[in-house]
C-alpha cells in the first residue's frame, strides 16, 4: 500500500472531498438507524396497512402486511413512514457523493469514442437522480394513501358508538 504525498494528506483535503465524505458518513448513519429501527419495531409503514378494529372502535396501524396483530401506535407508524421515505434521497446523496469522489478516475479511464468519461458521469448522475426521485415519489404516494385511509377510518370510528361490554 502506498502512502499519500504530504500535499494529499487528510489535513489538506479540498472542501468538495470533505463535504462528500460527510454526506457518505451521514448517509451510512441513516442506513444503520433505519436497519436498527426496522429490526426493533418489526417492519416499516410504507409496506404496512391501516384497518378499523370494530371491537376496539379504533384505527389499527400495522408496519407490514403481516405485522403484529395489535398494531403499533400512530406516532411509530408515522416515524417509520418518514424514515422509510428518507432512505431514497439518502441513497441518491451517497451515490452522487461517491460518483463525485470517483469522477477524476472515471473520466481518466474511459477511452471510448462513443461517450467520454465526463459524459458517462453526467449520464450516471441523471440516472441516479431520476430513479431515486421516482422511488421517493412512490414511497410518499403510498404513505400518503395509508395516512388518508387512516383519516377516513378515524372519522368512521368517531361516528360509531363504543362497543358495549358483553
All structural domains of the chain with their residue ranges: 16-158
Q: Looking at residues 1-8, what average pLDDT do you find?
A: 54
Residues in Cβ contact with 149 at an 8 Å cutoff, skipping those fewer than 6 apart = 50
pLDDT digits (tens, 9 = 90+) for 90-140: 999 999 999 999 988 887 787 776 778 788 899 999 999 999 999 999 999
Answer for the pair 27, 46: CB distance below 8 angstroms, yes or no: no
Q: What is the pTM of this model?
A: 0.79
Residues in Cβ contact with 145 at an 8 Å cutoff, skipping those fewer than 6 apart = none
- pLDDT tops 50 at residue 149: yes
Q: How far is the C-alpha of 144 from the C-alpha of 160, rounded, in Å? A: 24
The pLDDT confidence band at residue 36, using thresholds 50, 70 and 90, is very high
pLDDT digits (tens, 9 = 90+) for 50-68: 988 877 778 889 887 666 6
Q: How far is the C-alpha of 131 from the C-alpha of 150, rounded, in Å? A: 29
What's residue 164's pLDDT? 47
Residues in Cβ contact with 23 at an 8 Å cutoff, skipping those fewer than 6 apart = 93, 94, 97
Q: How far is the C-alpha of 11 from the C-alpha of 145, rounded, in Å? A: 49
Amino acid at each position: 500500500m502506498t502512502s499519500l504525498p504530504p500535499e494529499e494528506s487528510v489535513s489538506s483535503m479540498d472542501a468538495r472531498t470533505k463535504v462528500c465524505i460527510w454526506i457518505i458518513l451521514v448517509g451510512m448513519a441513516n442506513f444503520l438507524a433505519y436497519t436498527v429501527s426496522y429490526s426493533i419495531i418489526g417492519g416499516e409503514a410504507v409496506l404496512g396497512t391501516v384497518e378499523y378494529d370494530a371491537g376496539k372502535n379504533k384505527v389499527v396501524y400495522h408496519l407490514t402486511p403481516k405485522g403484529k396483530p395489535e398494531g403499533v401506535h400512530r406516532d411509530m407508524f408515522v416515524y417509520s413512514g418518514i424514515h422509510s421515505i428518507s432512505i431514497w434521497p439518502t441513497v441518491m446523496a451517497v451515490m452522487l457523493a461517491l460518483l463525485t469522489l470517483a469522477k477524476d478516475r472515471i473520466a481518466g479511464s474511459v477511452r471510448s469514442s462513443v461517450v467520454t468519461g465526463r459524459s458517462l458521469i453526467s449520464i450516471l448522475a441523471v440516472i441516479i437522480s431520476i430513479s431515486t426521485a421516482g422511488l421517493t415519489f412512490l414511497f410518499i404516494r403510498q404513505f400518503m394513501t395509508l395516512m388518508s385511509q387512516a383519516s377516513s377510518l378515524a372519522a368512521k370510528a368517531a361516528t360509531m358508538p363504543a362497543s358495549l361490554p358483553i
